[in-house]
Amino acid sequence: MCRRSCEGSLRRLGIEAINLYYQHRVDPATPIEETVCALAQLVQEGKIRHIGLSEASPQTLRRAMKIHSITALETECSLWSRDPEDELLATCRELGIGFVAYSPLGRGFLTGQFTRFEDLPADDYRRFSPRFQGENFQKNLDLVRRVEEIAAEKGCKPSQLALAWVLARDKNIVPIPGTKRRKYLEENVAAIDVKLTEEDLRRIGEIFPSGAAAGLRYPEHMMNTVNG
Domain span at residue 212 reads 107-168+180-228
Q: Which residue did the predictor score with more confidence, 119 or 99?
A: 99
| pLDDT recorded at residue 114 | 83
Domain membership of residue 129 (yes or no) is: yes
Q: pLDDT (tens digit, 9 = 90+) per residue, 188-210?
A: 999 999 999 999 999 999 988 88
Q: Rounded to whole angstroms, how far apart are CA atoms 56 and 62? A: 10
Q: Under DSSP, is residue 32 helix (H, G, I), strand (E, B) or coil?
A: helix
Strand ranges inside the chain, DSSP E: 18-23, 48-54, 72-76, 98-102, 173-176
Domain membership of residue 83 (yes or no) is: no
What's the structural domain count of the chain? Answer: 1
Judge whether residue 108 has pLDDT over 90.
no
Judge whether residue 174 has pLDDT over 80.
yes
Phi, psi dihedral angles at 110 (to 5 degrees)? -75, 0
Domain membership of residue 38 (yes or no) is: no
The whole model's pTM is what?
0.89
Q: Which residue did the predictor score with more confidence, 219 or 137?
A: 137
Judge whether residue 122 has pLDDT over 70.
yes
Domain membership of residue 186 (yes or no) is: yes
Q: pLDDT (tens digit, 9 = 90+) per residue, 157-168?
A: 999 999 999 999
| pLDDT recorded at residue 228 | 64
Domain membership of residue 95 (yes or no) is: no
Q: pLDDT (tens digit, 9 = 90+) per residue, 31-40?
A: 999 999 999 9
Domain membership of residue 220 (yes or no) is: yes
Domain membership of residue 85 (yes or no) is: no
Q: Rounded to whole angstroms, how far apart are CA atoms 26 and 111? A: 30
Q: Rounded to whole angstroms, how far apart are CA atoms 6 and 23? A: 10
Domain membership of residue 76 (yes or no) is: no
Contact 14, 45 (CB under 8 A): no
